Amino acid sequence: MNQHDAIVIDQVTKQFGQHVAVEDLSLRVPRGTLYGFIGPNGSGKTTTLRMIMHILLPDAGRIAVLGQEDTRAAQDRVGYLPEERGLYKKMTVRRLLRYYGQLKGATPADLARRIPDWLERMGLADWADKKIETLSKGMAQKVQFMGAVVAEPELLILDEPFSGLDPVNAEVLKDAILDLRRKGTTIVFSTHDMGVAERLCDRIFMIYRGRKVLDGTLAEIQSRYGGDTLRIRTADGAAALDGLPGVVEVRDDGNRQEVRFRGDPQAILHALVERTRVEHFEVTHPSLHDIFVRIAAPEREVSIHALA
Amino acid sequence: MRWPKVTVVATAEFTSAVRTKAFVASVLMLPLIYGAAILIQLFASRADTRTRTFALIDRTTVLAPAILEAAKAHNDEDVRDEHGKQVRPRFEPEPIPAEAASGPDVLVRLSDRVRSGELFAFVEIPADVLEPGSGGSSRLRYHTNTPTDLDLPRWLEGVVNTSVHRIRLERAGLDPVKVTAAMAPVLTDTLGLVERPAPSPAAGTAAAPSSARKIDPIRTVALPIALVFVMFVTITSTTPQLMQTVLEEKMSKITEVLLGSVTPFELMLGKLLGNVGVALVLAGLYLGTAYAVSVRYGYGDLAQPGLMLAVVLFIVLGVTLFGSLFMAVGSACSDLKDAQSLMLPVLILAMLPAFFWSVVLQGPDSPVSVAASLFPPATPFLMLMRMALTPAPPVWQVALSVALTTLTALACVWAAGKIFRTGILMQGKAPGFFELARWIVAR
């Protein structure tokens, strides 16, 4: 077992009745990395995270966490933010954090020091002795996050940490996550926000229909999909691209279009200049979002195989 | 098994439980129960002292004077206690003259007067009550709209019988005084057993056997009933809470956070231990208060250490057994409605022993009592009751019942753990009993 890997998943399969949630999955998460799990709803992200947490047991294959296999020995060193948030409504914020921390084996003395620090940092110092039920959704989510980190885990598993947060709170959370990584915490998080995954993650893993479809750094993934993308802004918007030779597909983001093309980009630029005023023209890799859609949109399933 | 984690769960469970309204309510119930008992005592002693006016139709023509005289004596002497406070109702007979009593509608008119509240009742004494041996066929005819009141009819029956006996004896030529003396009843005193006295050092003089103590209903009946009651209240007021917390954690998705830190078994055990703590605190409060009261009235010796130890042991077993069942129900369901229908069998199991209380009380060593007290879900209630009664159960029966209950409790925890493990992350439709059984036997 490699001690440099925080998580080793080896040929793991998990079935629920007839439904195969995760199929023959292998993955290594090196220590100290910030790993993004992406994939459409129901593709097996949460099941994989739950198996890492030993909440679910795989039907086949092996999972080692922090060098420990098949035991809960590493459990105290792993923090977990589940997808479905759960807090005791009647507990005060402080009591809840103390309980969640103690469950992970943190001592009351350590917690008495860390809890006020975290509350201060997340802007919840005034809410320490308020009941959870009085908190707004965003505040409750920050409390949930603190519950996962207050025991100072070596490995942090976050299932959709940013969902439902406003931009200000999302920024606070992002800073906290990056700070933890700087201190050496290995972080795995799942997200639907491709922008977040692109900006934050060292490595990205995509699961689709229970199988691994992407795994690597953003650059590795993008280079695999080649430089077949144009990012264009023109005076006429998407209308200017209609029937342009070489254009395979247009994704319209309103003020900007992402174009998958075949052939010579110079020819396309030339044709475009003749039609309209070009404000921006960039030959680039497809965005993670685009790659995600290419893989997960069912009508394009053929093209994945063509590409792969 | 990591005990520190179990302790953390148990502590959280305990502190949360003692903050709930349900716990506060069950503690507050304590003075309420005692208060209610005192109030009932007060009201029970304060009998209904309204005057009972009743019409008297005496077809024998000879009994009415005796009844009037007895009523006067009653009103003069028996109505008030030594402090002059009225404690019994006055009886005011209103004799109906023979000529008025013969009309066909006299009973209707008297009934109307009872309805209007003018009379409390009316009584008809048949002419043939004086015939010896007529007792079976000829009876007092007492008409009332308040048949539950027994003061007046009982008094009447006594007065009429005394007079009738006297008249019958006189007519038979017997001396009523001698006959009454001869017929004086012999009464029973129920006593305990006699202990052999310790041999006195002054040899030769055989010490007299200790005199048997008179049986005291507080010792024989009140103690076992009180113990079983406390057991019943603590178990039924704490264990269903476990179903609630498990269900709440499941519905608000807390379970997944917890299972990221502890195993399902550790979680369940912690919850059970927390609940045992709550139950012991509650029982301690109830029994402690009862002990203080009993010392005040000279019954302090009832709290024998062995019995108190049994209370603690049976609370631990009872809470474990029923608590694990309730938790299994909570973890198998996704909403309160499903849970309520699934918890009914468990509740019935907890209620069942109540049907056997009187059986055990009357015959602590009868085969039915022995069998019922060895039935594990009933043991915490019924074996405890038997231990407080005489004859005390043989040691082997106590040991067997504890062993059986312990095994059953462990089996319940194990099965509940299986259901917990499978059910806790399940959402949607509640499983049937068949499905639950499948979860239990699954790997």
pLDDT tens, position by position, A255-295: 888 888 888 888 888 888 888 888 898 888 888 888 888 88
Residue B121 has a pLDDT of 92
Q: Using CA atoms, how far apart are residues A307 and A262, in angstroms rounded to an integer?
A: 13
Of the pLDDT bands very low, low, confident and very high (cuts 50, 70, 90), residue A70 is low
Domain closes at, from A204, A222, A240: A222
Residue B226 has a pLDDT of 84
Inter-chain touch B252–A86, beta carbons under 8 Å: yes
User: Per-residue pLDDT averaged across A163-172, rounded?
Assistant: 88
Name the burial class of residue A305, with classes exposed (0-12), middle (13-18) and buried (19+) by CB atoms within 10 angstroms of its CB: exposed
Percent of chain A clearing pLDDT 90 (strictly above)? 35
Of the pLDDT bands very low, low, confident and very high (cuts 50, 70, 90), residue A303 is very low
Residue B33 has a pLDDT of 75
Q: Which stretches does DSSP call E strand in B179-319?
A: none
Domain closes at, from A172, A196, A222: A222
Could you tell me if A299 and A166 lie in one domain?
A: no
Of the pLDDT bands very low, low, confident and very high (cuts 50, 70, 90), residue A220 is confident
Could you tell me if A77 and A195 lie in one domain?
A: yes
Residue B198 has a pLDDT of 64
> Chain B: nearest CA to A265, how far in angstroms?
51
Q: Does the pLDDT at position B422 exceed 60? A: yes
Strand partners, A10: A62
Indicate the DSSP class of residue A136: -
Residue B214 has a pLDDT of 67
Tell me the one-letter amino acid at B226.
Answer: A
Give the mean pLDDT of chain B. Answer: 84
Q: Does the pLDDT at position B420 exceed 50? A: yes
CB pairs under 8 A between A and B: 57
Q: Does the pLDDT at position B331 exceed 50? A: yes
Which residues on B lie below 8 Å from A21 (Cβ)? none
- Model confidence, pTM: 0.74
What would the pLDDT profile of A240-253 be if each residue is shown by its tens digit? 888 888 888 888 88
Of the pLDDT bands very low, low, confident and very high (cuts 50, 70, 90), residue B278 is very high
Which residues on A lie below 8 Å from B425 (Cβ)? 55-56
Q: What is the CATH number of the domain that holds A295?
A: 3.30.70
Helix (H, G, I), strand (E, B) or coil at A252: strand
Which residues on B lie below 8 Å from A91 (Cβ)? 16
Of the pLDDT bands very low, low, confident and very high (cuts 50, 70, 90), residue B210 is low
Could you tell me if A173 and A255 lie in one domain?
A: no
Q: Using CA atoms, how far apart are residues A228 and A259, in angstroms rounded to an integer?
A: 8
Q: Does the pLDDT at position B285 exceed 70? A: yes
CB of B438 within 8 Å of any CB in chain A?
Answer: no
Tokens of B336: 């309160």
Could you tell me if A44 and A140 lie in one domain?
A: yes
Give the DSSP letter string of A278-302: EEEEEEEPPPHHHHHHHHHSGGGHH
Write down all domains in chain B, each with its CATH number in brackets.
50-179 (3.40.190), 216-441 (no CATH)
Could you tell me if A94 and A199 lie in one domain?
A: yes
Residues of chain B by 3-state class (helix, strand, coil), percent to 5: 65, 5, 30
Check: CB of residue B142 under 8 Å from CB of residue B166: no
> Chain B: nearest CA to A263, how far in angstroms?
51
Pick B8's closest partner by Cβ from A75, A91, A103: A103
Residue B375 has a pLDDT of 92
Q: Does the pLDDT at position A17 exceed 90? A: no
Give the mean pLDDT of chain A. Answer: 86
Nearest to A25 by CA among A9, A2, A47, A6: A9
User: Per-residue pLDDT averaged across B10-32, rounded?
Assistant: 82
Q: Which long-range contacts (CB under 8 A, 24 or more apart) does B107-112 make?
A: B107/B143, B110/B55, B110/B143, B111/B143
Q: Does the pLDDT at position B134 exceed 80? A: no
Percent of chain A clearing pLDDT 70 (strictly above)? 94
Nearest to A277 by CA among A232, A216, A215: A232
Inter-chain touch A55–B260, beta carbons under 8 Å: yes
- How many domains does chain A divide into? 2
* CB environment A76-97: b (16+ within 10 A), e (fewer): bbbbbbbbebbbbeebbbbbbb
Overall residue count recorded for chain A in this entry: 308
Residue B201 has a pLDDT of 55
Q: Does the pLDDT at position B200 exceed 60? A: no
Pick B260's closest partner by Cβ from A80, A90, A91: A80
Could you tell me if A91 and A190 lie in one domain?
A: yes
Name the burial class of residue B91, with classes exposed (0-12), middle (13-18) and buried (19+) by CB atoms within 10 angstroms of its CB: buried
Ramachandran angles phi, psi of A7, nearest 5°: -135, 135
Q: Using CA atoms, how far apart are residues B61 and B117, in angstroms rounded to an integer?
A: 27
Residue B356 has a pLDDT of 87
Q: Which long-range contacts (CB under 8 A, 24 or more apart) does B156-160 make?
A: B156/B67, B156/B123, B159/B66, B159/B67, B159/B70, B159/B71, B160/B63, B160/B67, B160/B125, B160/B129
Domain closes at, from A171, A194, A222: A222
CB of B60 within 8 Å of any CB in chain A?
Answer: no
Residue B135 has a pLDDT of 52
Residue B363 has a pLDDT of 87
Inter-chain touch A105–B5, beta carbons under 8 Å: yes
Inter-chain touch B259–A55, beta carbons under 8 Å: yes
Could you tell me if A235 and A200 lie in one domain?
A: no
Q: Using CA atoms, how far apart are residues B409 and B192, in angstroms rounded to an integer?
A: 37
Residue B407 has a pLDDT of 94
Could you tell me if A64 and A92 lie in one domain?
A: yes
Q: Which residues are within 8 A (CB) of B177 and not within 5 positions of it... i.e. 6 or more apart?
A: none
Percent of chain B clearing pLDDT 70 (strictly above)? 91
Of the pLDDT bands very low, low, confident and very high (cuts 50, 70, 90), residue B353 is confident
Of the pLDDT bands very low, low, confident and very high (cuts 50, 70, 90), residue A13 is very high
Nearest to B239 by CA among B384, B36, B392, B412: B412
Inter-chain touch A86–B261, beta carbons under 8 Å: no
Q: Does the pLDDT at position A48 exceed 70? A: yes
Give me the sign of the Cα torsion angle B12, B15, B18, B21.
negative
The terminus-to-terminus CA distance of chain A in angstroms comes to 31
Could you tell me if A151 and A252 lie in one domain?
A: no
Q: Does the pLDDT at position A299 exceed 70? A: no
Give me the sign of the Cα torsion angle B110, B115, B119, B123.
positive
What would the pLDDT profile of B401-412 be if each residue is shown by its tens digit? 999 999 999 998
Which residues on A lie below 8 Å from B5 (Cβ)? 103, 105
Q: Using CA atoms, how far apart are residues B254 and A88, in angstroms rounded to an integer?
A: 7
User: Per-residue pLDDT averaged across B246-272, rounded?
Assistant: 87
Q: Which residues are within 8 A (CB) of A178 and not within 5 positions of it... i.e. 6 or more apart?
A: A34, A200
Using CB atoms and an 8 Å cut-off, which of residues 107-146 of chain A contact chain B?
144
Could you tell me if A157 and A88 lie in one domain?
A: yes
User: Per-residue pLDDT averaged across B323-334, rounded?
Assistant: 88
Provide the domain limits for residue A204. 5-222
Query: Is the ipTM beyond the 0.95 threshold?
Result: no
Of the pLDDT bands very low, low, confident and very high (cuts 50, 70, 90), residue B373 is very high
Which residues on A lie below 8 Å from B334 (Cβ)? none
Q: What is the CATH number of the domain that holds A125?
A: 3.40.50.300
Tokens of B179: 């006959």
Q: Using CA atoms, how far apart are residues B92 and B123, in angstroms rounded to an integer?
A: 12
User: Per-residue pLDDT averaged across A103-132, rounded?
Assistant: 92
Could you tell me if A29 and A84 lie in one domain?
A: yes
B426 or B285, greater pLDDT? B285
What would the pLDDT profile of B144-191 be if each residue is shown by its tens digit? 988 888 889 999 999 998 898 888 888 888 888 888 888 888 988 878
Looking at A86-95, B46-55, B88-97, B380-389, which range is the least confident one?
Answer: B46-55
Which residues on B lie below 8 Å from A102 (Cβ)? 8
Q: Does the pLDDT at position B330 exceed 50? A: yes
Q: Using CA atoms, how far apart are residues B200 and B226, in angstroms rounded to an integer?
A: 39
Tell me the one-letter amino acid at A189.
Answer: F
Q: Tally Cβ neighbours within 10 Å of residue B100.
A: 11
Could you tell me if A175 and A48 lie in one domain?
A: yes
What would the pLDDT profile of A224-243 be if each residue is shown by its tens digit? 877 788 888 988 888 888 88
Q: Which stretches does DSSP call E strand in B126-178?
A: 141-144
